Structure 1
Amino acid sequence: MKVARFHTSKGLMEFELYENDAPGTVENFCDLVNQEFYNGLIFHQYIPDTLIQTGCPNGDGTGGPGYFIKCELKGKKQFHDKGVLSMANSGRDTNGSQFIICLDQANVKHLDGNHTCFGKLRKTGFEVLSKLRRFDVIESIELGEIEEVFEMNERDYQ
């Protein structure tokens, strides 16, 4: 299973990437990671109990990589929940580099069917996610592979 390890100013978060569910989106994200596109970018938007957003090279939500990719909305994992990585866009098929991390399922359900989900936070990282705010920094992202094992998500503990 492909994972992305986000080194942020608040700590480390590890995300499973949805290679089979959103292959084009994951490929685009990984290409940008390999180009070190995200290194040093800030989280430019924070909406409490809803989402935190990053991936804008301008730091204000107006920038991107200079191209668009298509939405991938039909997979089994295309639902928004706490800890899900989802592409930000300004309409269908305008995905690029900006993405959100969902903070509460009830407040992001309206994104289902409109924004591509391409990964989910693994159990280690929810504490860091709860501390992230506007102007916190992605220091770097590294890609890796891990053996796929059953892992309960935060909802399973409640």
Structure 2
Amino acid sequence: MSEPSGRWEPPVPPKRTSATVIGLVTGCFLVVVVMVLAFLAWGYPGFLRKPDANADGGFFTVAASTTTSSTPPAAVSSPVSIPGGRAAMPKRTRPLADPVTCAFTPDPGAPAPKKVALPPDGPAPSSGTADVRLATSAGAIGLTLDRALAPCTVVNFLSLAKQGFYDGTSCHRLSVASGLQMLQCGDPVGDGTGGPGYTIRDEVFPELSYGRGVLAMAKTSQPDTGGSQFFLVFGETRIPPEYTVFGSVDDAGLAVLDRVARGGVDTSKPGIGDGSGPPKTPVTFTGVTTTP
């Protein structure tokens, strides 16, 4: 009988059969497929996962109509189709208390390029109107602010106007596409990211609509993120009732907006990818007056 050698011998690997080889090849192929799909899902959001329709990168936006279409929006409609007359202004079915209490929240993460004082917190009337005249490089635009619709938003707009916040700013976004016909203004930065350094609460209700002649606040995709940016509706605009309406544009102002709209979008400058962008006809505020 032979003695054991006293050494640990490694186990001998089994012989590979053809079935084993096929299994290994198949397994490697599946691993590669999974890795490729994972890469595509991460790098190209539309490949496996639906992109977030509300993602806006912090931009103050007015969302386009939610109606789906396989055709990308045109940067400029030629000719631009603009409805005549003006739409009926939305009204609250249940009046607000009078007065209401307003509160304005500083936003330390978004300092204002133009330093302004916050509007005062506290009571504000929810009845009556105020007139505003926007003197612009394209012509005068008259506004009527309605406290019954959005009293705190009116307080905010008048405060910014009286402090000269809007002087020298330009309207940075024009949309002429069907379903979103408006001019967006009030950004001191000029690219859709600027504000006054604080936010205001939304003052919305289900019956809101955005027809020709409506004045409303812009915001990010999140609620209660408005500040200084607003939009003037000159045509057909189908958006959800998530944007505070606080007044109307006069007939002379609508005529100015119509001329700007027919001038088209300046496609040589960057937009936000929905066919909107800076207007070819510049609209720069040279002065803002309020009454009272």
Q: What is aligned with 2:139?
A: 11
Alignment of 1:38 onto 2:166 = yes
2:191 partner letter: D
Equivalent position to 1:64, from 190, 195, 199: 195
2:153 partner letter: T
Aligned length: 141
State the alpha-carbon separation in 1 of the partners of residues 283 and 141 from structure 2: 14
TM-score, normalization by structure 1: 0.82
Equivalent position to 1:127, from 234, 238, 255: 255
Alignment of 1:79 onto 2:190 = no
Q: Is the 8 A contact 1:22 1:75 kept in 2?
A: no
Equivalent position to 2:232, from 85, 94, 101: 101
TM-score, normalization by structure 2: 0.46
> Any idea what SS the aligned residue of 2:156 has?
helix
State the alpha-carbon separation in 1 of the partners of residues 223 and 201 from structure 2: 7
Give the Å deviation of 1:75: 8.4
1:55 partner letter: G
Q: Is the 8 A contact 2:234 2:254 kept in 1?
A: no
> Any idea what SS the aligned residue of 1:53 has?
strand
Q: Is the 8 A contact 2:146 2:246 kept in 1?
A: yes
Runs of 4+ off more than 4 Å: none
Which has the larger share of strand? 1
State the alpha-carbon separation in 1 of the partners of residues 260 and 197 from structure 2: 27
Give the Å deviation of 1:20: 1.7
Larger Rg: 2
